[in-house]
Amino acid sequence: MLPAHPFNDLAGWVEQVAVLPLLYRFGLMQWSELSFGWTLVAIYGVTQMLLAYAVCVPLERAMPIERWDSRRVVLVDVFYTFLARVGVLPVMTFVLFYAAQVRLDGFLADHGYVPPMLETIFPPLFGHPVITFALYALILDFADYWRHRLSHRFRVWYALHAVHHAQRQMTFWSDDRNHVLDEMIGFLWFMAVGLLIGIPPLQFPLLVLILRFVESFSHANIRLSFGRIGERLLVSPRFHRAHHGILAAGERSINYGAVFPFWDMLFGTADFSKDFAPTGDPEAPEAMASGGWVAQQWSGLVHLVRSI
């Protein structure tokens, strides 16, 4: 496990002061064994949100791509972000991943198999947790490239993913603007990969949050490019905005990478020529673009049924 002593200390204090008393008050002490992990994941999420806000807000104000008279629809994206980074979703990510890994490891051990670990596939990784952690991130990003690309390939899946693309006022808050069912697919996708390579349960949500920080920045309303070389090393706001740009008739989507553009370059979906185009999906229902959270979720379901 990577060292995270300040976070561990804070999580331990919050657990003792708030989480355990609440579990005791509502008769849920059977979950106390996981309470530290829940608390730590929530603290990771708060830290990630504060960091994204501190970095992106000054840049969005200093060099915006677009300016809007009203930012009401952006407030809905703020709720999406809170739900995904601090609310129910990250806690469930930890709990479900932990439970799945315990069951998988127990099943394999009972049948005489060694539980999967990246270090057993590449023994030189033993004793090098930082390198292993970086490889986890690279593998998850590769998996996310294909999840994202397939979500555009299948009409039924894109009916849900359209909630993300319907936003016409894209900011760093927009990264988590997803339909709940699309989020569940993404989580199950990540969980399967995480189990396959043996990511420790407390590192799994941390990895997801770190990757999503970069994704938040790439969605930001910032007129920023990383330059000819930098654009090919890390997904920038310019590179990712081309993915969200409104498509012309017959045009196919590009730039699916979430963190590293290398996958787009490798599989022929990279386009570094496009500048800062308007965002949105003209075919998406208006409720999906400008409605509240409930309206967007319901519109996604209706869109899904119609696509079938």
Domain coordinates in residue numbering, the chain: 5-307
Reported pTM? 0.87
pLDDT (mean) for 4-17: 80
pLDDT attached to residue 5: 62
Q: Please, which pLDDT band fits residue 224 given cuts at 50, 70 and 90?
A: very high
pLDDT higher than 50, residue 188: yes
Percent of the chain with pLDDT over 90: 50
When pLDDT is averaged across residues 194-198 and rounded to a whole number, the result is 86
3-state secondary structure the chain: CCCCHHHHHHHHHHHHHHHHHHHHHCCCHHHHHHHHHHHHHHHHHHHHHHHHHHHHHHHHHHCCCCCCCCCHHHHHHHHHHHHHHCCHHHHHHHHHHHHHHHHHHHHHHHCCCCCCCHHHHCHHHCCCHHHHHHHHHHHHHHHHHHHHHHHHHCHHHHHHHHHHHCCCCCCHHHHHCCCHHHHHHHHHHHHHHHHHHCCCCCHHHHHHHHHHHHHHHHHCCCCCCCHHHHCCCCCCHHHHHHHHECCCCCCCCCCCCCCCCHHHHHCCCCCCCCCCCCECCCCCCHHHHHCCHHHHHHHHHHHHHHHC
Q: What percent of the chain has pLDDT over 70?
A: 95
pLDDT, tens digit, 9 for 90 and up, residues 206-223: 787 788 889 999 999 999
Q: What is the pLDDT of residue 56?
A: 95
Using the predicted structure, report yes or no on whether residue 108 has a pLDDT greater than 80: no
Higher pLDDT, 141 or 198: 141
pLDDT at 88 over 80: no
pLDDT for the residue numbered 89? 67
Residue 232 pLDDT > 50, yes or no? yes
Question: Residue 210: its pLDDT value, please?
Answer: 83
| pLDDT of the residue at 248 | 57
**Average pLDDT of the chain to the nearest whole number:** 88
Q: pLDDT digits over 236-272, tens only?
A: 999 999 999 987 555 788 999 999 999 999 999 999 9
Q: Indicate if the pLDDT at residue 7 is higher than 90.
A: no
pLDDT over threshold 70, residue 21: yes
Residue 1 pLDDT? 43
pLDDT at 250: 59
pLDDT in tens, 157-175: 999 999 999 999 999 999 9
Place 2 in a pLDDT band, splitting at 50, 70 and 90: very low
206 vs 179 pLDDT, higher one? 179
Quick one: average pLDDT of 114-132?
81
